[in-house]
């Protein structure tokens, strides 16, 4: 048996067809017209030719786009980044992120200093392999998600209410320090995550983007995966497009592998 991701024609169920092929639908992501399926390898081609199927993709592993840090080589910091992207100009015009929630699909978030203010972190579902471990739900044991949350919306508790770029030299401040973070955990303690988990997370964010006044306007995906197949077939590319159609700005890591390997996204 193999695990595959199947994009279907809108509003059509393929459960009966999958069962007739000796498989089973293991998950349904209605907002992005996608199901996850366990099926005999010999039946994958038959499934792909079914008239209600748009595409079939193997459920593969994605990598969190993070790496080791060497203080002797990496001299960048948030203050310099703020200077390069001119975040201070946005802050001067009131663009500090107030009222906006950024959905972070990553390895979880631990409420460290700068992310511990009440209401700063909103916990969505924990879809990671760690979700059933006592004391691990939502929390980040890998480090990547907390790091990203700080870059996006970190704010030191002693930072002034009105900010300028010079404040980044004295206080820990993310790019949008007044924004909230919607923490949707998919990465386990070892960073492991499958494409199907990321798809489920994107589907959930789209469906719940306006729950309880959350106002999710941005979605961050800092993952790397081979992009050797056309974007018209790639299930992650399609999920991201559905999010965009629903008014969410999607930010995706460029990847850490340069141009020496297959395209990454």
Residue 69, domain member (yes or no): yes
Residue 76, domain member (yes or no): yes
Cross-strand partners of 37: 4, 25
pLDDT at 118 > cutoff 80: yes
Chain center to CA of 200: 10
Residue 258, domain member (yes or no): no
pLDDT at 258 > cutoff 80: no
pLDDT at 148 > cutoff 50: yes
pLDDT of residue 91: 85
Give the mean pLDDT of 110-120: 94
pLDDT at 92 > cutoff 80: yes
The band of 211, judged by pLDDT with boundaries at 50, 70 and 90, is: very high
**Whole-angstrom distance between the N-terminal and C-terminal Cα of the chain?**
28
Pairing mode of beta strands 249-252, 216-221: parallel
Which letter does DSSP use for residue 162 in this model? S
Structural domains of the chain, count: 2
119 and 34 belong to one structural domain:
no
180 and 236 belong to one structural domain:
yes
226 and 110 belong to one structural domain:
yes
107 and 123 belong to one structural domain:
yes
pLDDT of residue 158: 85
Give the mean pLDDT of 97-103: 96
CATH of the domain at 115: 3.40.50.200
Chain center to CA of 216: 13
Looking at per-residue pLDDT, the higher value among 166 and 39 belongs to 39
The band of 122, judged by pLDDT with boundaries at 50, 70 and 90, is: very high
Cross-strand partners of 243: none
Q: Is 73 buried (19+), middle (13-18) or exposed (0-12) by CB count in 10 A? A: exposed
Contact 101, 179 (CB under 8 A): yes
**Which residues, other chains included, contact 144 with Cβ-Cβ below 8 Å and sequence gap of 6+?**
64, 65, 66, 106, 107, 187, 191, 222
The least confident of 9-13, 44-48, 159-163 is 159-163
Looking at per-residue pLDDT, the higher value among 142 and 227 belongs to 142
CATH of the domain at 17: 3.30.70.80
Q: State the DSSP string of 76-116.
A: --HHHHHHHHTHHHHHHTT-S-TT-EEEEEES-----TTS-
55 and 164 belong to one structural domain:
no
For residue range 125-136, what is the model confidence (pLDDT) as tens digits? 999 998 988 888
pLDDT of residue 69: 47
pLDDT at 261 > cutoff 70: no
Residue 260, domain member (yes or no): no
152 and 66 belong to one structural domain:
yes
143 and 227 belong to one structural domain:
yes
For the entire predicted model, the pTM comes to 0.86
pLDDT of residue 213: 92
25 and 148 belong to one structural domain:
no
49 and 128 belong to one structural domain:
no
The overall average pLDDT reported for the chain is 88
42-68: string of b/e by CB count within 10 Å (b at 16+)?
A: ebbeebeebeebbbbbebeebbbbbee
- Domain hosting residue 23, numbered range: 2-59
79 and 54 belong to one structural domain:
no
For residue range 31-85, what is the model confidence (pLDDT) as tens digits? 999 999 999 999 999 999 999 999 999 998 887 766 554 444 445 577 777 778 8
Chain center to CA of 3: 21
pLDDT at 4 > cutoff 50: yes
pLDDT at 184 > cutoff 90: yes
pLDDT at 89 > cutoff 90: no
159 and 174 belong to one structural domain:
yes
Residue 264, domain member (yes or no): no
Cross-strand partners of 226: 264
| Best CA proximity match to 184, nearest among 222, 151, 156 | 222
């Amino acid at each position: 048996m193999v695990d595959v991701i199947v994009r279907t024609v809108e509003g059509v169920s393929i459960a009966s067809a999958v069962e007739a092929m000796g498989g089973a639908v293991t998950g349904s992501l209605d907002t992005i017209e996608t199901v996850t399926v366990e099926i005999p390898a010999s039946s994958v081609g038959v499934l792909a030719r079914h008239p209600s199927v748009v595409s079939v993709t193997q459920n593969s592993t994605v990598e969190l786009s993070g790496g080791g840090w060497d203080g002797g080589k990496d001299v960048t910091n948030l203050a310099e980044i703020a200077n390069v992207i001119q975040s201070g100009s946005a802050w001067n015009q009131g663009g500090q992120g107030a009222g906006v929630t950024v959905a972070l699909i990553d390895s979880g978030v631990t409420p460290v200093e700068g992310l511990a203010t009440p209401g700063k972190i909103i916990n969505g579902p924990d879809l990671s392999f760690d979700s059933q471990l006592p004391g691990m739900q939502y929390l980040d044991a890998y480090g990547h998600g907390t790091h990203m949350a700080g870059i996006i919306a970190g704010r030191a508790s002693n930072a002034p209410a009105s900010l300028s770029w010079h404040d980044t030299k004295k206080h820990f401040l993310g790019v949008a320090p007044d924004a909230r973070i919607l923490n949707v955990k998919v990465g386990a303690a070892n960073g492991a995550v499958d494409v199907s988990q990321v798809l489920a997370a994107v589907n959930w964010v789209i469906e719940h983007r306006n729950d309880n006044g959350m106002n999710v306007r941005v979605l961050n995906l800092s993952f790397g995966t081979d992009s050797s197949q056309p974007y018209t077939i790639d299930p992650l590319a399609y999920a991201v497009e559905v999010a965009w159609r629903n008014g969410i700005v999607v930010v995706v890591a460029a990847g850490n592998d340069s141009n020496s390997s297959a395209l990454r996204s």
